[in-house]
Amino acid sequence: MSEWLQDLATALGNPEAWQALRRVLTMFAVAEGWQYAAITFGFWFALHVLLRKRLAHRLISGWPRPGDVRREILYSASSLLLYSAGAAAILGLLAVGRVEIYAEPLKHGLAWLLLSLPVLIVWQDLCFYCTHRLMHTRWMFRHIHGVHHRSREPSPWAAYAMHPVEAMVNGGVPLLALGVVPVQEQVLGLFVLHQVLRNVHGHAAIESLPRGFARHWLWGRFTSTTHHHLHHETAQGNYGLWFTWWDRVFGTERADYLQRFDAATVLRPARAEAAVAGSAGAT
Ligand SMILES: [Zn+2]
Ligand SMILES: [Zn+2]
């Protein structure tokens, strides 16, 4: 048995270690839970309550039903507990020296400090595309991924609403990178923040990005709310998480994506009329 496995076995037989693990788990669940709850509530309150009428023309298909929102919140809580267990496991690996999360920003050089966040994000996107395609195979969809797809018109709370097995896959697979590369602690914090923000944004039901975004040569490579919303609508195509490129490479982008994005970002009727009147007046 290798040394670290022996250390782990000793630690698992120690009741104090279990108490410490419980404390760490609670700490992560509370910290991550607050972050997720605050961001999701912020999106939901701003887009679905405060600006509901103003942004109605940007609704991609329909408003989420209250029953869906309740279910999404419950499943999100279960995912957060699992993510916390994962974070506690990482802490354990950190303690036995299998993972390096460092505090000193320049310990591994400026280049790695700046590159590590984009590298982790691109890696997570690739992992997600592959595992998401697997989740759409018949058995996986029926028994696991179907939970996430119960919301055809998702609310921001759908971001973490998934079967516990999927939560473990989504949360765990990208973090395998930590076994290979060292990561600065604030970079890891930004990685998690990016994940929450964009995941919640992708389930917002309202397209908040500017007109032309999806057709732009650079911004068009990033996914939009419409991109993921269409995935929920039909459970086919648009499997990407943060970028559109894997769907384009593998021919899985929905044919109606750009038109639907255009439709969700048309000008409000009153403003459109003013723009037409303005251009007529100018000629
Ligand atoms: Zn989704
Ligand atoms: Zn899916």
For 121-130, write each residue's pLDDT tens digit: 999 999 999 9
Residue pair 182/108 in contact (Cβ under 8 Å)? The answer is yes
Q: How far is the CA of 148 from the centre of ligand 1 (A)?
A: 6
Q: Do 25 and 84 touch, CB atoms closer than 8 A?
A: yes
Q: If you measure from the C-alpha of residue 146 to the centroid of ligand 1, how many angstroms do you get, rounded to a whole number?
A: 11
**b/e per residue, 22-56, with b = 16+ CB within 10 A?**
eebbeebbeebbebbeebbeebbebbbeeeeeebe
Write the pLDDT tens digit of every residue in 181-226: 999 989 988 998 999 999 999 999 999 999 999 999 999 999 999 9
Q: How far is the CA of 131 from the centre of ligand 2 (A)?
A: 10
231 Cα to the center of ligand 2, angstroms: 7
Query: In this predicted structure, what is the pLDDT of residue 239?
Result: 98
* Cα 67 to ligand 1 centre (Å): 17
For residue 205, report the distance from its CA to the centre of ligand 2, in Å. Answer: 16
Q: How remote is the CA of residue 37 from the centroid of ligand 2, in Å? A: 23
pLDDT at residue number 189:
86
Ligand 1 centroid distance, CA of 158 (Å): 6
CA of 218 to the centre of ligand 2 (A): 25
User: Which ligand has the minimum distance to the alpha carbon of residue 132?
Assistant: 2
How far, in Å, is the centroid of ligand 1 from the Cα of 141? Answer: 13
- Nearest Cα to 146, choosing from 156, 136, 154? 136
Closest ligand relative to 140 C-alpha = 2
What pTM was estimated for this model as a whole? 0.85
**The pLDDT value given to residue 4:** 63
* Residue spans of the chain under pLDDT 70: 1-2, 4-5, 7-8, 11, 17, 20-29, 269-283
Nearest residue to 196 (alpha-carbon basis) of 49, 24, 34, 62: 34
How many angstroms does the Cα of residue 140 sit away from the middle of ligand 1?
15
pLDDT score of 273: 66
Residue 25 CA to ligand 2 center (angstroms) comes to 28
